[in-house]
Amino acid sequence: MFQGFSPRISKNSRLFQIIILFCLGICLLVGCGDAKGTLRARSLQTETSPSSPKDRVTVGTTLKPRTIDPADSYDLAGILVVYNLGETLYSYKLGTTELEPRLAIAMPKISADGLIYRIPLRQGVKFHDGTPFNAAAMVFSLNRFIQNAGEPSFLLSDTIDTVKALGEWEIEITLKKPFSAFPALLAFPGACAVSPQAYEIGEGKFKPESFVGTGPYQLTQFSSDSLHLKAFANYWGEKPKNQGINLQLYPSNPANLFNAFRTQTIDVAYQSLMAQQIKTLKADASQEKYKVIESSGSVINFMALNVQTDALRQVLVRKAIATLIDRKLLIDRILQGQGEALYSMIPLSFSAYQPVFQTKYGDAKGTLRARNLEQAKQWLKEAGFSRENPVKIEVWHSSGSITNSIVAALLKALSKRDLDNAIQFEPNSIAGAAYFKNVSKGLYESSISNWYPDFLDPDNYIFPFLDCAKGSLSKGCEEGGAQNQGSFYYNPKMNQLIDQQRREPDPQKRDAIFAEIQRILAADVPYIPLWQTKDFAFAQQNITGTVINPSQTFPFWTLGKS
């Protein structure tokens, strides 16, 4: 069971403890389910699930795709399917952030000005409908992604100027401006090749429930509660370890997913179980009932500080908040060990990562430097705030996130315990759609959110947060990433460094630029990184080859039955 907070916290904040226990009670009630819920899960399976032959694997998930048209799919549910049905020019070696050619046969040749990319293509590849893959098909696919104007189309339309074929087995892509992370962008699953015979170019012309690509599987069924994939007989590469996948959907119902796995109705459970359910399954796995697969995730949780508000305009206040954060408490007590402390907006899995917030503000572990709470109090005093004259700061989050609700309550309790209540946090929540809309309008003094990257490169954790296309020192960011994420931070030097790393082709020199970016980030504190996720999958004992990629994509073709 979840252990309570230390007596030191409960003594100084009885209200905080009540809030935490109430929220956790909700988590445990939903996560553990009951006998009735278990029977219902079994009943649903009996009614909707097809038989699973020995050579097929059943994967369960709470994710339900809105669409699997690669030009319009922009949620994890759809991307999970597209990744297994299609192929991009480049992808990542399984379980890593290392790029490798896929439908390309080599990394691109780049012009001296960084604008032109020439990419040689793989021969002997066929689409699921028998159409041969070639340069014309790849050009068609990329142009369709851009011109059909689906949700993720901006990823390429903002970057690519033109795409053309150079003969049958090479394409040339001209960028609008240099972008050194472009090959990583081409690994976005939606930028995959699709058959020109099965699709058409035209704004809004999508096929949400069908797919014709070149991947190791082809789609045979799409229904409201399941998708069926079979191994593609004419696949050019290594054949899957199974003959097909039954993807069983439990939309937004982790209790049913949990129960279906424990009753062995499904072979693999992935995305998204609750913390207590994961803890239970990990305990069972330690007794060799199941297999647990754990991986560092790419999703980060952070706090945005609106530097244009009266409460947070002074950097000394922001520095005090950065010092206050107790990540050990967040990880151990709230996440139950299912996360990793993060001291930069760039995750630990990248070589560019620098633990700048740990170096500058310390942490509760004190391995590098212990938190200097007296210094934080002094900063607040210099800013004009104290126990007698506290600064009041609203903390907003989506009402759909129980975790962020507890984090907001934790901040309130920590300030009372560690800063003599010189900062009075006021937790607030609102429905998700309104919350994210209001963040970019500057309605919140501070907010707690998470970030799912579009592609695996440090740039995707820096540019969307710190770049500002239009702004000034007096007005802050009026247009750009900093405005969208709610910090409204503007720094001409930061803009210069971001542009510089985007143009720099040398990886080591790029990392040096990212180091400077992170140093300024820690000094100015428009955001405070909190943690990065850990991803978990659970497999029955007879299942082999379960892999979780840092991008949260999940390869089906490695799964086998012993």
Determine the Cα–Cα distance for residues 17 and 414; give it in Å rounded to an integer: 12
Residue 30, pLDDT above cutoff 50: no
* 85 touches 195 (CB < 8 A): no
The 8-class DSSP code of residue 422 comes to S
C-alpha–C-alpha distance, residues 232 and 124, integer Å: 14
d(CA 296, CA 456): 13
pLDDT greater at residue 144 or residue 41: 144
pLDDT of residue 400: 87
pLDDT of residue 41: 33
* 151 contacts 82 by C-beta, under 8 angstroms: no
Max intra-chain CA distance, the chain: 75
- Each residue's pLDDT tens digit, 76-117: 999 999 999 999 999 999 999 899 999 999 999 999 999 999
Arithmetic mean of pLDDT over the chain? 90
Instruction: Name residue 303's amino acid.
Output: M
Q: What is the dihedral of CA 54, 60, 66, 72, to 10 degrees?
A: -70
Answer whether 511's CB lies under 8 Å from 519's CB.
Answer: no
The pLDDT confidence band at residue 7, using thresholds 50, 70 and 90, is very low
Residue 259 CA to residue 38 CA, distance in Å, equals 6
Residue indicated by tokens 């990392």: 511
Distance CA 84, CA 59 (A): 13
In this prediction, residue 49 has a pLDDT band, given cuts at 50, 70 and 90, of: very low
- Compute the distance between CA of residue 489 and CA of residue 486 in angstroms, rounded to an integer: 8
The 10s digit of each residue's pLDDT in 318-361 is 999 999 999 999 999 889 899 999 999 999 989 999 999 999 99
- The per-residue pLDDT for range 208-238, each reduced to its tens digit, is 999 999 999 999 999 999 999 999 999 999 9
pLDDT (average), residues 253-258: 96
Residue 107 contacts by C-beta under 8 Å, 6 or more apart in sequence?
90, 99, 101, 183
- Assign 39 a pLDDT band (cuts: 50, 70, 90): very low
Reported confidence tier of residue 286, pLDDT bands at 50, 70, 90 = confident
Residue with tokens 């299942």: 543
pLDDT of res. 478: 97
Question: Is residue 16's pLDDT more than 50?
Answer: no
* Percentage of the chain modeled with pLDDT above 70: 90
C-alpha 370/C-alpha 363 separation (Å) is 5
- pLDDT for 34 equals 37
Assess whether pLDDT exceeds 70 at residue 562.
yes
- Do residues 201 and 144 touch, judged by C-beta distance below 8 A? yes
Helices 507-524, 315-324: axis angle to 10 degrees equals 100
Continuous segment of H or E residues that includes residue 248 = strand 244-249
**At residue 118, does pLDDT exceed 60?**
yes
**9, two tokens:** 């916290």
Q: What is the distance, to the nearest Å, from the Cα of residue 283 to the centroid of all Cα atoms in its chain?
A: 26
The SS3 of residue 57 is strand
pLDDT-wise least confident of 129-138, 358-367, 447-456: 358-367
Q: What is the pLDDT of residue 495?
A: 98
> In this structure, are residues 414 and 326 in contact, taking their beta carbons and an 8 Å threshold?
yes
Tell me the CB-side half-sphere exposure of residue 10, using CA atoms within 13 A.
9
Residue reference for tokens 């990990």: 282
Write down the pLDDT at residue 367.
67
Report the run of H or E that residue 50 belongs to, with start and end.
none
Residues near 510 by beta carbon (within 8 Å), at least 6 away in sequence = 180, 352, 458, 501, 504
SS3 content of the chain, % helix, strand, coil (to 5): 35, 25, 45
Integer Cα distance of 255 and 280 in angstroms: 12
pLDDT tens string 170-196:
999 999 999 999 999 999 999 999 999
Residue 54 pLDDT: 72
Rounded Cα gap, residues 228 and 218, in angstroms: 9
Helix axes 402-418, 315-324, angle to 10 degrees: 100
- Alpha carbon 102 to its chain centroid, in Å, reads 23
The edge-to-edge listing of strands for the beta sheet with 109-110 is 109-110, 116-120, 170-175, 160-165
3-state secondary structure 335-353: CCCCEEECCCCCCCCCCCC
Phi and psi torsions of 9, nearest 5°: -75, -50
Q: Read off the pLDDT of residues 538-555 as tens digits, 9 standing for 90 and up.
A: 999 999 999 999 888 999
Phi/psi of residue 418, nearest 5 degrees: -105, -20
Amino acid at 362: G
Per-residue pLDDT averaged across 439-458, rounded?
95
pLDDT(119) > 60: yes
- Residue 39's CB is within 10 A of a number of other CB atoms, namely 12
